[in-house]
């Protein structure tokens, strides 16, 4: 074989073992045969599924978008407002109501104890509120200013009770 000439040499474990000096690599013949079968199967199966071998160029081509059709603008007609603009943000209510909802998770005892602990109800008030929520689906816990209603709402939610706060309408 000439220097630099390309030559293909079949790879076999037996050829590798026979080329090694004595005592350097001692394996039973069955191991060599098994390795040859695994190498042949791997070569026949193709590339390994977990090894990334890019199949395409990493260069990306950009495609120009088709030109957009020209949009004709119609002249805008602006009319002056007939009345002055009002501030349409809703006015914050003075009072908020806290509603307790019935849920299938919490026991009635847990709900009554939590109402006593958080809101400061006595046992009868807590029991009445809990039973109303249990029988009708919801109960009014109380009406307070926003900060107090929100703090009760958050504390009851922290005890896994289902509550909600609503602004009190002037009609209520």
Q: Is the pLDDT of residue 135 over 70?
A: yes
How far apart CA 52 and CA 66 sit, in angstroms, is 36
- Rounded to the nearest 5 degrees, what angle is found at the Cα of 97, between the Cα atoms of 91 and 98? 130
Identify whether 114 is part of a domain. Answer: yes
Identify whether 130 is part of a domain. Answer: yes
Indicate the number of domains in the chain. Answer: 2
Identify whether 4 is part of a domain. Answer: no
Identify whether 149 is part of a domain. Answer: yes
Identify whether 33 is part of a domain. Answer: yes
Q: Which of 1-5, 33-37, 103-107, 119-123 has the lowest mean pLDDT?
A: 1-5
**Mean pLDDT, range 151-169, rounded to an integer:** 94
CATH number at residue 120: 3.30.1390.10
The tens digit of pLDDT for each residue in 1-42 reads: 455 544 455 555 556 555 555 545 555 566 667 777 777 777
Which residue range forms the structural domain that includes residue 40? 13-45
Q: Is 107 left (phi over 0), alpha (psi -120 to 50) or beta?
A: beta
Place of tokens 């002056």: 80
Identify whether 67 is part of a domain. Answer: no
- Alpha-carbon torsion (162, 165, 169, 172), positive or negative: positive
Alpha carbon separation from 9 to 12, 15, 40, 100, 103 (Å, rounded): 9, 10, 15, 83, 77
Q: Report whether 100 contacts 89 (CB < 8 A).
A: no
Q: State which H helix or E strand residue 153 sits in.
A: helix 146-158
Phi, psi of 167 (to 5 degrees): -70, 145
DSSP bridge partners of 60:
none
Q: State which H helix or E strand residue 166 sits in.
A: strand 162-167
Averaged pLDDT of the chain:
75
b (16+ CB within 10 A) / e for 57-74: eeeeeeeeeeeeeeeeee
Identify whether 125 is part of a domain. Answer: yes
Residue at which a domain ends, from 45, 66, 85:
45
Identify whether 29 is part of a domain. Answer: yes
**Mean pLDDT, range 141-148, rounded to an integer:** 94
CA atoms within 13 A on the CB side of 121: 20
């Amino acid at each position: 074989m000439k220097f630099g000439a390309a030559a293909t040499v079949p790879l076999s474990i037996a050829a590798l073992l026979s080329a090694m000096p004595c005592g350097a690599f001692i394996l039973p013949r069955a191991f060599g045969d098994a390795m040859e079968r695994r190498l042949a199967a791997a070569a026949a199966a193709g590339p390994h599924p977990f090894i990334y071998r890019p199949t395409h160029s990493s260069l990306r081509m950009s495609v120009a978008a088709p030109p957009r059709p020209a949009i004709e603008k119609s002249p805008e007609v602006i009319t002056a407002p007939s009345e002055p603009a009002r501030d349409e943000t809703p006015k914050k209510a003075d009072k908020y109501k806290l509603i307790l909802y019935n849920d299938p998770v919490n026991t009635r005892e847990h709900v009554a104890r939590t109402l006593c602990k958080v809101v400061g109800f006595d046992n009868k008030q807590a029991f009445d509120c809990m039973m109303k929520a249990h029988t009708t689906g919801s109960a009014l816990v109380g009406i307070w200013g926003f900060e107090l209603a929100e703090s009760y709402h958050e504390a009851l939610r922290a005890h896994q009770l289902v509550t909600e706060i609503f602004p009190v309408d002037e009609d209520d």
